[in-house]
Structure 1
């Protein structure tokens, strides 16, 4: 089965994910093979709000936000086939294993986000994920996520 060339723009991403500025960290989906893998893009600009404090004289994208971008990419892979309502669905981290940071990500970089589905069982999704800049691995991790219904009536 060949990779389906899907170009999900920001408008489609906004229908699939509940995240909004400043925490939406995926700009475009470049490739998607449902139930298999996804390749997405995050343009890292100096205008990102976290660069004000991380770090003022040498802006570096926080590693935890690179992991968040990978989780959002994995969510897009999950939700590409699973019907859901972003307003009432929570997509939660339940585990991060083997996280490694191998390259600084800074303003001007294009972060290529890759996630492949390892397995899905009883509402838990496991992914291998990596972020690259110019073909070099910036971060990689094994992610576990869960899809849950939001209980918005109790909030």
Structure 2
């Protein structure tokens, strides 16, 4: 194996739900990321959301045709990006609050429905001090479901 291949393999990381809950303050029903894979600290990651009919929002959105609300897809993107930021900042940043500053160029391409596994790819565009900007793409079975650029600020509680 080449040295470059070894470096790539060493930089990828997986974070399970228990570790995610240590890193970000969200909890059910607002915790919208089940696992983070392919994490390259401070740069990019893929969040996984297993969408279940048991999600509380499906009771009203929509009872006859359950569709995951777009705003929650964007929230899942932001939570995935938050894990990337916390990983970069280190353990002392765990549990800090992340607030949206802007959501740009948001597009919804395909409904996300119960039984889907949404894979949320986030990549840092900019990060300065406590403000971060990420390009985010959500896919289901490789098909684009949504995309957006999110900017957020991380603050102490």
TM-score normalised according to structure 1 size: 0.92
The reply to whether residue 63 of structure 1 matches residue 70 of structure 2 is yes
Please name the residue that 2:115 is paired with.
108
Q: Choose 61-70 or 114-123, whichever is displaced more.
A: 114-123
C-alpha contact (below 8 Å) 2:24/2:97 kept by paired residues:
no
Counterpart among 36, 47, 54 of residue 47 in structure 1? 54
Structure 1 distance, partners of 2:39, 2:94, is 20
Compute the displacement of 1:85 (Å).
3.7
Please name the residue that 1:127 is paired with.
134
Once superposed, what is the RMSD of the aligned Cα atoms? 1.1
Q: How many residues align?
A: 148
SS in 1 for 2:88: coil
Structure 1 distance, partners of 2:38, 2:47, is 7
Please name the residue that 1:2 is paired with.
8
Q: Which residues of structure 2 form unaligned runs of 5+?
A: 1-6
Q: Which residues of structure 1 form unaligned runs of 5+?
A: 151-155
Indicate the structure with greater helix content: 2
Structure 2 distance, partners of 1:15, 1:145, is 19
C-alpha contact (below 8 Å) 2:34/2:47 kept by paired residues:
yes
Following TM superposition, where does structure 1 have runs of at least 4 consecutive aligned residues deviating by more than 6 angstroms?
none
